[in-house]
Amino acid sequence: MELPPGFVLSAILEREDPRDAFVSNDYADLAALPAGAVVGTSSLRREASLRARFPHLVIQPLRGNLDTRLSKLDRGDYAAIILAAAGLKRLGLSERIRAVIAPETSLPAAGQGALGIESRVDRHDVQAWLAPLHHAPTALAVTAERAVSRQLGGSCQVPLAAFAQWTDAGVLRLRAFVASPDGRRKLAAEAEATPATPAEAEALGARVAQQMLDGGAHDILATLGADAPPAT
């Protein structure tokens, strides 16, 4: 979650669909899958959510680029696969989405659906060129999400979700969880704020992360070999 020295995140574009997508040739959605159906995912976060809500399904790893993953589905290796909706839409593959999965079922990962553009910290000319592309509401949401992930040692080896969403009233609602890969242990937290600056968005993320640390997130992280600051 940290940029290399000498670089800065100069712009964050308006977010695409942040949700996960259900992709299948034979079934309409997760609820339609029969017991024992094989579902593919490369994400421990998705795996934990699926195992907790759909224990009758068989969750198997899914590797490769997008074309490879879709070809594995098409040849019958899986009854369904779970992918990021944003990636499918950006590549013109929206027709492969049978259903989008509500955040209540599969909470998105930090930054999912958002594109950031990185530049050298001393290239103020580049930063000026990129300024019109920057979408402040998305940037504040993603900043809060990234703060959660950073404080909890988020990586591809940690089943961690963090998703911030603006309400119609202009309030940023941040939800997060950390779980064991089998979905049996899960700690969730949420908070709301009206951040106007990145620092205020960071503070919202830090507050949610601290709630989980206070609740015992260390116990889950320790089983995964992940490190996080001690609870206070």
pLDDT digits (tens, 9 = 90+) for 16-36: 999 999 999 999 999 999 999
Place of tokens 């950031």: 116
Q: What percent of the chain has pLDDT over 90?
A: 83
Rounded average pLDDT over 174-190? 90
Tell me which CATH homologous superfamily contains domain 20-101.
Periplasmic binding protein-like II (3.40.190.10)
Residue 231 has pLDDT above 50, yes or no: no
What residue segments make up the domains of the chain, in order of their start? 7-15+112-223, 20-101
Compute φ and ψ for 229, nearest 5 degrees. -60, 150
Rounded average pLDDT over 103-128? 96
Residues 93, 228: Cα–Cα separation, whole Å:
38
Average confidence score pLDDT of the chain = 93
Cβ-based neighbours of 187, under 8 Å, separated by 6 or more:
177, 178, 179, 212, 215, 216, 217, 220
Architecture of the domain made up of 7-15+112-223: 2-Layer Sandwich (3.30)
How many C-beta atoms lie closer than 10 Å to residue 37's C-beta?
18
pLDDT of residue 111: 96
Residue 210 has pLDDT above 80, yes or no: yes
pLDDT of residue 3: 83
What's the pTM value of the predicted model, to 2 decimals?
0.90
Hey, do 7-15+112-223 and 20-101 end up sharing a CATH topology, with the first three levels equal? no
Rounded average pLDDT over 56-75? 96
Higher pLDDT, 201 or 155: 201
Among the residue ranges 3-7, 152-156, 176-180, 224-228, the one predicted with the least confidence is 224-228
Rounded average pLDDT over 2-11? 90
Residues 166, 172: Cα–Cα separation, whole Å:
4
pLDDT of residue 232: 47
